[in-house]
Amino acid sequence: MAKTLLEMKNIVKLFPGVRALDNVNLKVEEGEVHALVGENGAGKSTLMNVLSGIYPYGSYEGDILYNGEVCQFKTIKDSEAKGIVIIHQELALVPYLSIGENMFLGNERGSKARIDWDETYHRADELLRQVGLTESSHTLIKDIGVGKQQLVEIAKALAKNVKLLILDEPTASLNESDSQKLLDLMLEFKKQGMTSIIISHKLNEISYVADKITVIRDGSTIETLTKGVDDFSEARIIKGMVGRDLSDRFPKRTPHIGEIAMEVKDWTVYHPIYEGRKVVDNVNFNVRKGEVVGISGLMGAGRTELAMSIFGRSYGSHITGTLTIGGKEVHLKTVKEAINAKLAYVTEDRKGNGLVLTNPIRVNTTLAKLDKVSNHGVIDRDKEVQVAEDYRSKLRTKCPSVEQNVGNLSGGNQQKVLLAKWMFADPDILILDEPTRGIDVGAKYEIYTIINQLVAEGKSVVMISSELPEVLGMSDRVYVMNEGRMVGEFPIEEATSEAIMARILQTSGKGVSNND
């Protein structure tokens, strides 16, 4: 019988106005990959923050037993000393330091008086090979892609003699190839005796890598499923997460498509820093009233650069081409001009560029169109509260009040606030860049429903997504982008995963190179 490595008993964690964890129990056996799943706000990350000492002993109720010993971690250093290492969704790497410097930051090789750089880089190179990276440890973090940065974080954990590795949404920002490499690495570590806990919303990845799945809902443990014993299907996992069967992942919609709302012709964009580097190459596409147009492509295809360059030239240099909105050619040189032209861009980076995390829901909701809640430059707070309350109700945002800081919301609820912000600006055309990235299946369904409501009102939606099922499930038409160029267009009846990937592969190596 396998040895129990970790047991968390009756964990309770309170925040002001919220019972984040309510008598949660978790048991993890030595050498297994154990998945934690649940909707956004279910308490998964909170539980792992309790385990790792980010929420210190005394700030929660319950017991943590690790290797049969009761643990009372006051800091993250305490848990790391026991071999428990957590890798967060937002990578904790310093871009302008080398890989080696990052790997031993706070865990330096040498004496208190002097860092042994030879040992640092030699050991870093050994660990990089262990996770399958061929880069030199002298390479700066900014010069490698996000997939490799994720592997550097794992190598950094190995440098701390990790015995229990916790991965929080490790593939959220990775393409399919990098995601597969990371999952296979986890299975390789399992063969070597390492224990892992993975939090992910990608249920196909969970089914592939996990030995057991513990479902958390509304801060409580619902059940633990075991591979080979219980039903491990996505439908079964979803039922545990949301408390009901979700027979259709995408809400039904009968499209009523009208005339062309926006058209882009011969659109070319150069990199803002590297002169002469073309990132969008002679792109043509359009979207009609009442239509959802999907733009599919691999990471690095140039989709985000295209969207931002259209939205008030918020990205790029030497932009050329024609943009037509409502049948009239427009020249949108600033974000304000784009908003006034009834165009909105919902960024893929809601925490970095979309929301002000330290401000309340009320402030974030009205941020894109302050003139609608102000008189002579003075904000009418009562009107602002009413607007925020209306969108809170309309989008079913879960929060104690609209005065709660957005940074304290779950990912799915942050995404709803971001949508509310742009819906309040009353656009006719919305460009949604990865609108469901990092949110659970239940919250995704609610976002899809909002998109359907928008196009039912006659608005136009351009949806950029790296998830092919999402593109195929929501779009009326699909464009395929690769290496800065539009390389295909499909009516939804002809769009398949195979057709899209075939178009990408057929055109690879013939366009520009860039980072999406």
Judge whether 351 lies within some domain: no
Judge whether 133 lies within some domain: yes
Q: How far apart are CA 161 and CA 14, in angstroms?
A: 32
Q: How confident is the model at residue 512 (pLDDT cuts 50, 70, 90)?
A: very low
pLDDT (0 to 100) of residue 384: 94
How crowded is the C-beta side of 91, counted as CA atoms within 13 Å? 25
> Domain holding 217: CATH number?
3.40.50.300
142 and 222 assigned to the same domain: yes
360 and 417 assigned to the same domain: yes
Mean pLDDT of 155-160: 88
- The larger pLDDT score, comparing residue 349 to residue 319, is at 319
Judge whether 218 lies within some domain: yes
Mean pLDDT of 222-232: 92
Instruction: Look at 45-54, 118-127, 168-177, 486-495 and tell me which has the smallest mean pLDDT.
Output: 168-177
Phi, psi for residue 275 in degrees, rounded to 5: -60, 135
- CB count within 10 Å of CB 181 equals 17
Q: What b/e readout covers 86-123, taking b as 16+ CB neighbours within 10 angstroms?
A: bbbbebebeeeebbbbbbbeeeebeeeeeeeeeebbeb
Q: How far apart are CA 188 and CA 194, in angstroms?
A: 9
Mean pLDDT of 438-459: 88
**pLDDT tens per residue across span 308-331:** 999 999 999 999 999 999 999 999
Query: Is pLDDT at 440 greater than 80 in this prediction?
Result: no
Q: How far apart are CA 380 and CA 396, in angstroms?
A: 24
Using a 10 angstrom Cβ sphere, with 0-12 exposed, 13-18 middle and 19 or more buried, the burial of residue 473 is middle
Q: How far apart are CA 160 and CA 146, in angstroms?
A: 22
Tokens of 77: 């250093």
Judge whether 161 lies within some domain: yes
Query: Among residues 426, 444, 477, which one ends one of the domains?
Result: 426
Q: How confident is the model at residue 332 (pLDDT cuts 50, 70, 90)?
A: very high
Q: Which of 469, 38, 478, 436 is nearest to 248 (CA)?
A: 469
Mean pLDDT of 130-159: 88
pLDDT (0 to 100) of residue 344: 96
Q: How far apart are CA 31 and CA 289, in angstroms?
A: 54
418 and 433 assigned to the same domain: no
375 and 440 assigned to the same domain: no
pLDDT (0 to 100) of residue 291: 97
Tokens of 79: 């848990």
314 and 279 assigned to the same domain: yes
Q: How confident is the model at residue 502 (pLDDT cuts 50, 70, 90)?
A: confident
Judge whether 348 lies within some domain: no
191 and 80 assigned to the same domain: yes
Token pair 């984040």: residue: 20
Phi, psi for residue 62 in degrees, rounded to 5: 110, 180
pLDDT (0 to 100) of residue 45: 87
86 and 14 assigned to the same domain: yes
Q: How far apart are CA 248 and CA 47, in angstroms?
A: 30
**Beta strands 343-346; 429-433: pairing state:** parallel
296 and 169 assigned to the same domain: no
Q: How confident is the model at residue 242 (pLDDT cuts 50, 70, 90)?
A: confident
Q: How far apart are CA 73 and CA 58, in angstroms?
A: 9
- The larger pLDDT score, comparing residue 200 to residue 146, is at 200
203 and 166 assigned to the same domain: yes
Token pair 């890798």: residue: 87
177 and 211 assigned to the same domain: yes
Count the domains in the chain: 3
**pLDDT tens per residue across span 363-397:** 999 999 998 999 888 999 999 999 999 999 988 88
pLDDT (0 to 100) of residue 439: 76
Judge whether 347 lies within some domain: no
Judge whether 350 lies within some domain: no
Mean pLDDT of 267-283: 91
230 and 288 assigned to the same domain: no
How crowded is the C-beta side of 376, counted as CA atoms within 13 Å? 0
Judge whether 349 lies within some domain: no
Q: How much is the pTM?
A: 0.66
Q: Residue 47: enclosing H or E segment and its boundaries?
A: helix 44-52
Query: Among residues 201, 227, 242, which one ends one of the domains?
Result: 242
Amino acid identity of residue 277, one-letter, is R
CA angle 70, 71, 72 (to 5 degrees): 130
Mean pLDDT over each residue of the chain, to the nearest integer: 89
Query: Among residues 369, 403, 426, which one ends one of the domains?
Result: 426
pLDDT (0 to 100) of residue 187: 94
62 and 135 assigned to the same domain: yes
Query: Could you tell me the residue range of the domain that residue 419 belongs to?
Result: 356-426
Query: Is pLDDT at 516 greater than 50 in this prediction?
Result: no
Residue 73 in contact with residue 64, Cβ under 8 Å?
yes
**pLDDT tens per residue across span 20-41:** 899 999 999 999 999 999 876 7
Q: What b/e readout covers 144-161, taking b as 16+ CB neighbours within 10 angstroms?
A: beebbbbbbbbbbbbbbe
In eight-state DSSP terms, residue 249 is S
Query: Is pLDDT at 240 greater than 60 in this prediction?
Result: yes
Q: How confident is the model at residue 510 (pLDDT cuts 50, 70, 90)?
A: low
**pLDDT tens per residue across span 49-76:** 999 999 999 999 999 999 999 999 999 9
Q: How confident is the model at residue 244 (pLDDT cuts 50, 70, 90)?
A: low
